Amino acid sequence: MRIDLPSDSQSRPEKPGFFSAQVSQARRFYLDLNPPEKTEFAVVCGGWEQCQKEYRIRREDFPYFSIEFVSGGKGELTLAGRTEPLWAGRIFTYGPGIAQQITTDPDDPLAKYFIDFAGIRAESLLAEANLSPGTIQSASTVQTISDIFDGLIEQGLSDSRFAPALCRTLTEFLIFKLAENITHARPAESAAFTTYQQCRQFIRENCADLKSLSEIARTCHIDPAYLCRLFRRYDHQSPYQYLIRLKMNLAAQRFQDPNTLVKQLAIELGFVDPFHFSRVFKKVFGLSPQAFRKLR
Protein backbone atom coordinates (compact mmCIF):
# COMPACT_ATOMS: atom_id res chain seq x y z
CA MET A 1 0.00 0.00 0.00
CA ARG A 2 1.31 3.49 -0.85
CA ILE A 3 1.43 5.95 2.04
CA ASP A 4 2.29 9.55 1.13
CA LEU A 5 3.69 11.58 3.99
CA PRO A 6 4.50 15.29 4.19
CA SER A 7 8.13 15.87 3.38
CA ASP A 8 9.04 17.23 6.83
CA SER A 9 7.91 13.98 8.45
CA GLN A 10 10.36 12.07 6.26
CA SER A 11 13.40 13.81 7.76
CA ARG A 12 16.27 11.68 8.99
CA PRO A 13 19.62 12.72 10.47
CA GLU A 14 21.41 11.62 7.30
CA LYS A 15 19.12 13.52 4.92
CA PRO A 16 21.31 15.01 2.17
CA GLY A 17 21.25 18.74 1.56
CA PHE A 18 20.46 18.59 -2.16
CA PHE A 19 16.79 17.66 -1.67
CA SER A 20 14.34 20.47 -2.39
CA ALA A 21 12.04 21.68 0.36
CA GLN A 22 9.53 22.84 -2.26
CA VAL A 23 7.51 19.63 -2.16
CA SER A 24 4.11 18.97 -0.59
CA GLN A 25 4.60 15.21 -0.21
CA ALA A 26 7.57 12.88 -0.46
CA ARG A 27 8.67 9.30 0.10
CA ARG A 28 12.46 9.05 0.22
CA PHE A 29 15.05 6.56 1.32
CA TYR A 30 18.77 6.94 2.00
CA LEU A 31 21.38 4.19 1.88
CA ASP A 32 25.13 4.81 1.52
CA LEU A 33 25.57 8.54 0.96
CA ASN A 34 29.34 8.23 0.78
CA PRO A 35 30.10 5.01 -1.14
CA PRO A 36 33.74 3.89 -1.50
CA GLU A 37 35.52 5.52 -4.42
CA LYS A 38 36.12 2.23 -6.24
CA THR A 39 32.75 0.61 -5.56
CA GLU A 40 31.27 -1.22 -8.54
CA PHE A 41 27.72 0.06 -8.22
CA ALA A 42 25.90 1.48 -5.21
CA VAL A 43 22.47 3.04 -4.76
CA VAL A 44 22.73 6.23 -2.73
CA CYS A 45 19.14 7.33 -2.29
CA GLY A 46 15.83 7.54 -4.09
CA GLY A 47 12.18 8.39 -3.78
CA TRP A 48 9.09 10.16 -5.06
CA GLU A 49 8.13 13.83 -4.73
CA GLN A 50 4.98 15.86 -5.32
CA CYS A 51 6.22 19.33 -6.20
CA GLN A 52 4.71 22.55 -4.94
CA LYS A 53 3.65 25.14 -7.52
CA GLU A 54 6.79 27.22 -6.88
CA TYR A 55 9.15 24.24 -7.29
CA ARG A 56 12.42 25.20 -8.95
CA ILE A 57 15.81 23.51 -8.81
CA ARG A 58 18.99 24.86 -10.34
CA ARG A 59 22.29 23.01 -9.98
CA GLU A 60 25.58 23.44 -11.79
CA ASP A 61 26.80 20.01 -10.67
CA PHE A 62 25.64 16.88 -8.89
CA PRO A 63 27.73 14.38 -6.90
CA TYR A 64 25.99 11.21 -8.13
CA PHE A 65 24.46 9.76 -11.29
CA SER A 66 20.70 10.25 -11.30
CA ILE A 67 17.58 9.12 -13.15
CA GLU A 68 14.37 11.11 -12.77
CA PHE A 69 10.98 9.96 -14.07
CA VAL A 70 7.91 12.17 -14.30
CA SER A 71 4.78 10.35 -13.13
CA GLY A 72 2.40 13.31 -13.35
CA GLY A 73 2.07 17.03 -13.97
CA LYS A 74 4.01 19.29 -16.32
CA GLY A 75 7.14 21.40 -16.22
CA GLU A 76 10.30 22.36 -17.99
CA LEU A 77 13.83 20.99 -17.87
CA THR A 78 17.10 22.58 -18.93
CA LEU A 79 19.78 19.92 -19.03
CA ALA A 80 23.33 20.60 -20.21
CA GLY A 81 22.08 23.69 -22.04
CA ARG A 82 19.11 21.97 -23.73
CA THR A 83 15.56 22.97 -22.74
CA GLU A 84 12.67 20.49 -23.07
CA PRO A 85 9.08 20.25 -21.77
CA LEU A 86 8.25 17.70 -19.08
CA TRP A 87 5.10 15.57 -18.93
CA ALA A 88 4.12 12.16 -17.52
CA GLY A 89 6.49 9.55 -18.92
CA ARG A 90 9.52 11.82 -19.37
CA ILE A 91 12.89 10.34 -18.34
CA PHE A 92 16.03 12.38 -17.81
CA THR A 93 19.50 11.59 -16.51
CA TYR A 94 22.36 13.65 -15.17
CA GLY A 95 25.53 13.28 -13.14
CA PRO A 96 28.79 14.93 -12.16
CA GLY A 97 29.58 17.97 -14.27
CA ILE A 98 26.10 18.28 -15.84
CA ALA A 99 24.05 21.38 -14.99
CA GLN A 100 20.31 20.99 -14.59
CA GLN A 101 17.35 23.28 -13.98
CA ILE A 102 13.86 21.92 -13.25
CA THR A 103 10.74 24.06 -12.91
CA THR A 104 7.13 23.00 -12.55
CA ASP A 105 3.96 24.29 -14.18
CA PRO A 106 2.19 26.03 -11.25
CA ASP A 107 -1.19 25.01 -12.66
CA ASP A 108 -0.19 21.32 -12.94
CA PRO A 109 2.72 20.65 -10.54
CA LEU A 110 5.15 17.84 -11.28
CA ALA A 111 5.14 14.50 -9.51
CA LYS A 112 8.35 12.57 -10.11
CA TYR A 113 10.48 9.64 -9.03
CA PHE A 114 14.26 9.71 -8.76
CA ILE A 115 17.12 7.33 -8.04
CA ASP A 116 20.71 8.42 -7.31
CA PHE A 117 23.65 6.03 -7.57
CA ALA A 118 27.43 5.86 -7.92
CA GLY A 119 30.22 3.47 -8.84
CA ILE A 120 32.62 2.65 -11.63
CA ARG A 121 29.89 0.76 -13.56
CA ALA A 122 27.22 3.45 -13.21
CA GLU A 123 27.99 5.49 -16.32
CA SER A 124 28.58 2.44 -18.53
CA LEU A 125 25.21 0.96 -17.46
CA LEU A 126 23.45 4.16 -18.46
CA ALA A 127 25.32 4.28 -21.76
CA GLU A 128 24.40 0.67 -22.55
CA ALA A 129 20.73 1.57 -22.10
CA ASN A 130 21.02 4.75 -24.22
CA LEU A 131 20.48 6.81 -21.07
CA SER A 132 23.88 8.49 -20.74
CA PRO A 133 23.95 11.50 -18.38
CA GLY A 134 22.37 14.46 -20.14
CA THR A 135 19.73 12.35 -21.92
CA ILE A 136 16.04 13.31 -22.14
CA GLN A 137 13.67 10.54 -23.31
CA SER A 138 10.06 9.41 -23.00
CA ALA A 139 8.64 6.07 -21.80
CA SER A 140 5.69 4.38 -23.47
CA THR A 141 4.17 3.12 -20.19
CA VAL A 142 4.06 5.31 -17.08
CA GLN A 143 2.49 2.68 -14.81
CA THR A 144 5.09 -0.04 -15.49
CA ILE A 145 7.98 2.26 -14.61
CA SER A 146 6.15 3.72 -11.60
CA ASP A 147 5.61 0.21 -10.22
CA ILE A 148 9.36 -0.51 -10.39
CA PHE A 149 10.16 2.76 -8.62
CA ASP A 150 7.57 1.94 -5.93
CA GLY A 151 9.30 -1.41 -5.40
CA LEU A 152 12.64 0.35 -5.08
CA ILE A 153 11.26 2.76 -2.48
CA GLU A 154 9.69 -0.12 -0.54
CA GLN A 155 13.02 -1.96 -0.38
CA GLY A 156 14.97 1.21 0.42
CA LEU A 157 12.70 2.00 3.36
CA SER A 158 12.79 -1.55 4.71
CA ASP A 159 15.01 -2.56 7.60
CA SER A 160 16.30 -5.60 5.74
CA ARG A 161 20.06 -6.15 5.73
CA PHE A 162 19.65 -7.05 2.07
CA ALA A 163 18.14 -3.64 1.19
CA PRO A 164 21.32 -2.26 -0.50
CA ALA A 165 21.73 -5.41 -2.64
CA LEU A 166 18.03 -5.48 -3.55
CA CYS A 167 18.08 -1.80 -4.49
CA ARG A 168 21.17 -2.35 -6.66
CA THR A 169 19.45 -5.19 -8.50
CA LEU A 170 16.18 -3.29 -8.91
CA THR A 171 18.02 -0.20 -10.18
CA GLU A 172 19.79 -2.22 -12.88
CA PHE A 173 16.43 -3.75 -13.80
CA LEU A 174 14.90 -0.26 -13.89
CA ILE A 175 17.62 1.05 -16.22
CA PHE A 176 17.03 -1.63 -18.84
CA LYS A 177 13.25 -1.53 -18.41
CA LEU A 178 13.42 2.17 -19.17
CA ALA A 179 15.51 1.39 -22.26
CA GLU A 180 12.91 -1.17 -23.35
CA ASN A 181 10.09 1.35 -22.95
CA ILE A 182 11.69 4.35 -24.66
CA THR A 183 9.46 5.87 -27.31
CA HIS A 184 9.80 8.84 -29.64
CA ALA A 185 6.19 9.85 -29.09
CA ARG A 186 5.25 13.35 -28.08
CA PRO A 187 2.83 13.73 -25.13
CA ALA A 188 0.37 10.91 -24.61
CA GLU A 189 -2.45 13.10 -25.98
CA SER A 190 -1.19 12.16 -29.46
CA ALA A 191 -3.99 10.23 -31.19
CA ALA A 192 -1.53 7.82 -32.83
CA PHE A 193 0.26 7.07 -29.57
CA THR A 194 -3.02 6.55 -27.75
CA THR A 195 -4.12 4.09 -30.45
CA TYR A 196 -0.82 2.21 -30.14
CA GLN A 197 -1.21 1.93 -26.36
CA GLN A 198 -4.79 0.68 -26.71
CA CYS A 199 -3.79 -1.94 -29.29
CA ARG A 200 -0.81 -3.07 -27.20
CA GLN A 201 -3.02 -3.45 -24.13
CA PHE A 202 -5.62 -5.38 -26.13
CA ILE A 203 -2.95 -7.82 -27.39
CA ARG A 204 -1.57 -8.28 -23.88
CA GLU A 205 -4.98 -8.97 -22.35
CA ASN A 206 -6.16 -11.35 -25.12
CA CYS A 207 -2.91 -12.96 -26.28
CA ALA A 208 -4.04 -16.53 -25.56
CA ASP A 209 -6.99 -16.28 -27.94
CA LEU A 210 -5.60 -14.08 -30.72
CA LYS A 211 -4.22 -15.88 -33.78
CA SER A 212 -3.21 -13.36 -36.43
CA LEU A 213 -2.29 -9.79 -37.24
CA SER A 214 -5.50 -9.32 -39.24
CA GLU A 215 -7.60 -10.47 -36.28
CA ILE A 216 -5.87 -7.95 -34.00
CA ALA A 217 -6.36 -5.11 -36.48
CA ARG A 218 -10.00 -6.01 -37.15
CA THR A 219 -10.88 -6.13 -33.46
CA CYS A 220 -9.04 -2.84 -32.82
CA HIS A 221 -10.88 -1.30 -35.81
CA ILE A 222 -7.74 -0.24 -37.69
CA ASP A 223 -5.94 -1.29 -40.86
CA PRO A 224 -3.26 -4.03 -40.43
CA ALA A 225 -0.67 -1.91 -42.25
CA TYR A 226 -1.37 1.04 -39.93
CA LEU A 227 -1.06 -1.23 -36.89
CA CYS A 228 2.40 -2.31 -38.09
CA ARG A 229 3.39 1.32 -38.65
CA LEU A 230 2.36 2.18 -35.09
CA PHE A 231 4.55 -0.58 -33.68
CA ARG A 232 7.49 0.44 -35.90
CA ARG A 233 7.13 3.99 -34.61
CA TYR A 234 6.64 3.34 -30.91
CA ASP A 235 8.06 -0.15 -30.27
CA HIS A 236 11.04 -2.38 -31.08
CA GLN A 237 8.99 -5.27 -32.50
CA SER A 238 6.05 -5.94 -34.78
CA PRO A 239 2.57 -6.55 -33.30
CA TYR A 240 2.78 -10.21 -34.32
CA GLN A 241 6.20 -10.63 -32.69
CA TYR A 242 4.76 -9.09 -29.53
CA LEU A 243 1.81 -11.50 -29.65
CA ILE A 244 4.09 -14.52 -30.10
CA ARG A 245 6.33 -13.47 -27.22
CA LEU A 246 3.30 -13.18 -24.93
CA LYS A 247 2.00 -16.59 -26.05
CA MET A 248 5.37 -18.21 -25.37
CA ASN A 249 5.57 -16.57 -21.94
CA LEU A 250 2.18 -18.08 -21.15
CA ALA A 251 3.41 -21.46 -22.39
CA ALA A 252 6.49 -21.27 -20.17
CA GLN A 253 4.27 -20.57 -17.17
CA ARG A 254 1.95 -23.46 -18.02
CA PHE A 255 4.89 -25.86 -18.38
CA GLN A 256 5.58 -25.42 -14.67
CA ASP A 257 2.74 -27.94 -14.31
CA PRO A 258 4.23 -31.34 -15.26
CA ASN A 259 0.80 -32.55 -16.38
CA THR A 260 0.54 -29.97 -19.19
CA LEU A 261 0.76 -31.65 -22.60
CA VAL A 262 2.48 -29.92 -25.55
CA LYS A 263 -0.34 -30.84 -27.93
CA GLN A 264 -3.01 -29.58 -25.54
CA LEU A 265 -1.22 -26.30 -24.88
CA ALA A 266 -0.53 -25.71 -28.59
CA ILE A 267 -4.26 -25.93 -29.34
CA GLU A 268 -5.14 -23.65 -26.42
CA LEU A 269 -2.73 -20.99 -27.71
CA GLY A 270 -4.03 -21.16 -31.26
CA PHE A 271 -1.46 -23.49 -32.90
CA VAL A 272 -3.18 -26.19 -34.93
CA ASP A 273 0.16 -27.96 -35.42
CA PRO A 274 2.06 -28.86 -32.17
CA PHE A 275 5.29 -29.14 -34.18
CA HIS A 276 4.93 -25.53 -35.29
CA PHE A 277 4.29 -24.56 -31.68
CA SER A 278 7.47 -26.38 -30.58
CA ARG A 279 9.55 -24.68 -33.30
CA VAL A 280 8.31 -21.23 -32.25
CA PHE A 281 8.93 -22.02 -28.56
CA LYS A 282 12.52 -23.05 -29.32
CA LYS A 283 13.09 -19.96 -31.45
CA VAL A 284 11.99 -17.72 -28.56
CA PHE A 285 13.69 -19.49 -25.65
CA GLY A 286 16.47 -21.48 -27.31
CA LEU A 287 15.09 -24.75 -25.92
CA SER A 288 12.41 -27.16 -27.06
CA PRO A 289 9.37 -27.54 -24.76
CA GLN A 290 10.67 -30.95 -23.70
CA ALA A 291 14.11 -29.59 -22.79
CA PHE A 292 12.53 -26.60 -21.03
CA ARG A 293 10.39 -28.85 -18.84
CA LYS A 294 13.46 -30.85 -17.79
CA LEU A 295 14.93 -27.68 -16.29
CA ARG A 296 12.44 -28.05 -13.44
The answer to whether residue 90 sits within a structural domain is yes
Mean pLDDT of the chain: 88
Query: Which helix (H) or strand (E) is 149 found in, with range?
Result: helix 142-157
Confidence of residue 157 (pLDDT cuts 50, 70, 90): very high
The DSSP code sequence of 16-51 is -TTS-S-EEEEEEEE--SS--TT-S-EEEEEEEEEE
Domain count of the fold of the chain: 2
**Predicted pLDDT at 2:** 32
What CATH number has the domain bearing residue 89?
2.60.120.280
- Extract the runs of DSSP E, i.e. beta strands, from the chain: 23-30, 42-51, 56-59, 65-72, 75-79, 82-86, 90-94, 100-104, 111-118, 136-139, 182-183
Residue that finishes a domain, picked among 163, 183, 203: 183
pLDDT digits (tens, 9 = 90+) for 204-245: 899 999 999 999 999 999 999 999 998 887 777 899 999 999
The answer to whether residues 28 and 162 belong to one domain is: yes
The answer to whether residues 156 and 203 belong to one domain is: no
The answer to whether residue 1 sits within a structural domain is no
The answer to whether residues 195 and 175 belong to one domain is: no
Whole-model pTM: value is: 0.66
Confidence of residue 296 (pLDDT cuts 50, 70, 90): low
The answer to whether residues 159 and 58 belong to one domain is: yes
How far apart (Å, rounded) are the C-alpha atoms in residues 294 and 1? 38
Show the domain range for 208: 191-294
**Predicted pLDDT at 257:** 85
Nearest to 86 by CA among 99, 68, 98: 68
**Predicted pLDDT at 7:** 38
